[in-house]
Structure 1
Amino acid sequence: MTLRVAIVGGGPAGIYAADLLTKSETPVSVDILERLPAPFGLVRYGVAPDHPRIKEIIKALQRVIGHPDVRFLGNVEYGVDVKLEDLREFYDAVVVATGAMSDRALGIPGEELPGSFGAADFVSWYDAHPDVPRSWPLHAREVAVLGAGNVALDVARVLAKTGEEMLSTDIPDHVYLGLAAKQATDVHVFARRGPAYVKFSPLELRELAHSPNVDVIVHPEGFEVDDASMEHIAKNRQAKMVLDTLANWVGREPSGKPHRIHLHFLEQPVEIVGDDGAVGALRTERTRPVGDGSVEGTGEVTEWPAQAVYRAVGYRSTPLPGLPFDDRNAVIPNDGGRVLDLDGAPIAGTFVTGWIKRGPVGLIGHTKSDAAETVAHLLAETTLTARSRDRKDVDAYFAERDVDVVTHESWERIDQHEIALGEAAGRIRIKVAEREEMLRVGRG
C-alpha cells in the first residue's frame, strides 16, 4: 500500500524531503501544504532580488513539485485551515518544514524604538511577501546594520544601491518606488568579532563593490588578525578568501560615489539611542580578541549617528499548534528528525526537517543532507495509520471549509503571469505581491 505523507512547508527543506521520498523504493503519495500561495519559501521570499543566480535552484524545486506522486497545496495554513489531528486522518506521517522567518532579538536597550527594524521584515518587504505592508519607511540618511552574515550584506547593499539599479530585478512597482525614494547615503555594518570570523560568503562580499553608485569602506580600526584568526583561516578556505578581499579594501579612499557602505569590525552594539521617540544613534563597545576566537568588551563606547537600525543577527522559528517547542533554541525538539514529546520520547509518525529542526544555520545546500536523515527515519519507522487514504478525501476536507487551495496548476498560472508581466517590461519576471491577486490569477 502507498505511504501517505504530509509535508508542512513548501520551502527547500520540505521540497527536498518530498524529492527523497519519491526517489525511495517505497511507494509514496506526498502532499506539500504551504501557507503562502507560492512555493519555494526563502528562495522566493528571502533571497535578495539582485541575486538571480541563487534563485536558479527554483528550477530544480519546480521539477519536484511537478512530480506525479507530489501535490502542492498552497494557501493552506497549518493551525488555521488544518490541525495536526486532521492530518493524522489522511496521512501516515507528517513532516514539519516551516523554517524560520522571524527575527531573533538582540536584547539591548532601545531595540523596540521606531526605526529599529528586524532584517527579516525588511527582506520580506523588498521580496514582495504577500503578508507584509506595501510601504517601508526609508527616510534615514545614516543607517546601521547589525550582523556579520549574508543577510546583513543583502540589507546593506539594497539600502545603498539606487532604485534604478534594482529595476532590472523581479521587484514590483511598490518596492521600486520605495527604493527609488530612499534617502540613505551611508550604511554602516557592525560586526562583533574580527574580520576572520564574519559569515559573509566570498561572492556576496565582492558584490558589494559592483555597484557604480556605492563606495565600500573598510575601517582600519578593529581590523585585527591575531594568531587564533590565522589558525582559523588556515582551516577555512572561504574565511581566507573573505579576509583577503577585506584586507585589499582596508584604507581605500572613497571615490566620490553618492552612497557608501562602511564595514566596522570588533564593534559590539550595546544600545540603540532614542531621539524624540525614534532611533537617533547607535552605541557600540569596542571588543578585542581573547586568543580563542571569541572577544571581550574593552569599555570603550562610540556613538554613531543613525536614524534607522536593522538587526540582522539571525532568524528564529516560531511554535506550531499541537507540537512541542524548545523556546530557548527555537526548534521543535527532535532526535535526527523524529519529533520528541516533553518526556523525550518520539511521537509516532511526526518528523521535522530544515531550520525548525536544527536552527537557522547553514546554506540551502545543507538542507539536503538534513532532509535525508529525516526521511531515512520516516521510511524505516512509519506504519500505515491513516483512515482516509484517497487524495480526494483531502480535497473534500478543504472544500467543505472553503479553503481556496492553490494547486500546482494554479501556481503555474501565477508563475506564467509573473513572467508575462516581466516580458512586457523587458525583465525576466515581476512578482505579484497581493495575496488576493495571486489567488485570482491562480484560478485562471
Structure 2
Amino acid sequence: MSALTWIAAGSLAAWVWLLLGQGFFWRTDVRLPGAGGTAAGPEAVPAGKHGKHGKGGKGGKATVSGGEDSGWPPVAVVVPARDEAAVLPVSLPSLLAQEYPGRAEVFLVDDGSSDGTGELARELAADHGGLPLTVSSPGEPEPGWTGKLWAVRHGIALARDRTDARWLLLTDADIAHEPDSLRELVRAARAADLDLVSQMARLRVTTGWERLIVPAFVYFFAQLYPFRWVNRPGGRTAAAAGGCVLLRREAAERAGVPDSVRHAVIDDVAVARAVKRSGGAVWLGLADRVDSVRPYPRLGQLWRMVSRSAYAQLLHSPVLLLAAVAGLAVVYLAPPAALAAGLLTGHAPTAAAGGAAWALMAATYVPMLRYYRQTLWLAPLLPFTALLYLLMTVDSAVQHYRGRGAAWKGRTYAAPPRAGRAARRAAADSCPSARS
C-alpha cells in the first residue's frame, strides 16, 4: 500500500497545483471583453496603429468605406464547408441575419461536398435574404494542405479580391450565431486593440454520451491552454477555437495565415500561434451566443472527433504519448483507485489522499458543468471520462501508425515533415500538452 499511498499523495499535490497554478483553467468567467456594447460603435483605435494598410496590403493606401466612417469596419465572413447539408439550414441563416452596422459579406467555400452543400447554401440565401452570400469551390487541396485550410485560403482570397474587408470572421459551417454576434466580436476586438478574437462555441449537449464527454472536452482544452495565459500580452501560450475566429486582415497577412500553417491538423491553435509569434494580440474565451449545432449522439462519433487530432496534439511523439498516458493515469485514475483500495484495506492515509484528490478534481469540473447546464452528479464521473480520453489518445496513435491518422470526411492527413531539433523544441515550448 505504500506505493499506492505515494501515488495518491502525488495526485493530490498535482491537483492542488492545477487548482492554483494552471491559470485558473477551471473557471468559466473568461467571456467576450466588455460584452453588452451597443450599436453606437466600438471604441476608436489609436490613429496609425492598425488602420494604415488597405486592400493593397502592406504599405498600401487605406481604403475608406461607409462602414469604416461609422466606426464599424467592413468584414468578410469565411465559411469552409464539406458535406454540411445536415447542419447548414440552422447555421447559415444565423450568419445571413447578422445585425452588423457596417458592411459584411459571407463567403461559403464548398470543399468538394457530395451532399449538395453549395446548392443548399444558395437556396437558403434566396429564402432568408440578409447579408450577401458568395458560394465558391477551390477544387481539391494541393499537396501539403489540409482541406479546411485550403478552403479558408480560397475564401480569404475571394474576400481580398471582391471586398475591402479589414476583418475576417472564420467560422465553421456547424456554428450558429446570435444576431449580434459579429457586432460584439468586432466591438470587443476594436475596444481592446486585439488582432484575433476567438470564442469557444457552446457545443451541443443532449444525449447521454454528449453529457459525459462534451463538457470534459472543453475542460481538458482549457487545462492544456488556460485562457488567461492565452490572453496574457507577451505570453507564450497561444490558442483559438476554430469555430469562431475574428481575425484582423492585416494581422493575417503579417503572420502569413493560412499559408504558414497549411499542414496543421489542429488549425485553430496553429493560426493563433502564428498571429501571436508575429506580434499580434490574441484573445480566447467561452461563448454565450455562439453555438455548435453538430450532433454527436453516439460514442463512436465523439471518439472519432477526439482521436483524429489527439496524437497530433502530442506532436506525433511516442515519448509524449507515454507521458500523457502516465499523467492521465496518475492525475485522474489514481484518486478513485486509491480511495477504493484504502477503504477496502483500512489504510486511512491512502483513502484520505485519494478521496481528497478526487474531491478537488470534481470541484474543478463543477463550473464547466454549470456552464453547460448539466447535473453536478457528472463531476465525480470525471475519472471515467478521462479514461475514455486516454483510450481515444492511444487509439489516435495506433491509427496514425496504421496510416489512418487525422482522418476526417474521407480525407487522411499525414504528419508534417519532422522539423529540426530547435524548431521542435520551440513547438514543444509553446504547446502546454507537450510540457505536461
Pairwise TM-score range, normalised by the shorter structure? under 0.3
When normalised by structure 2's length, the TM-score is 0.25
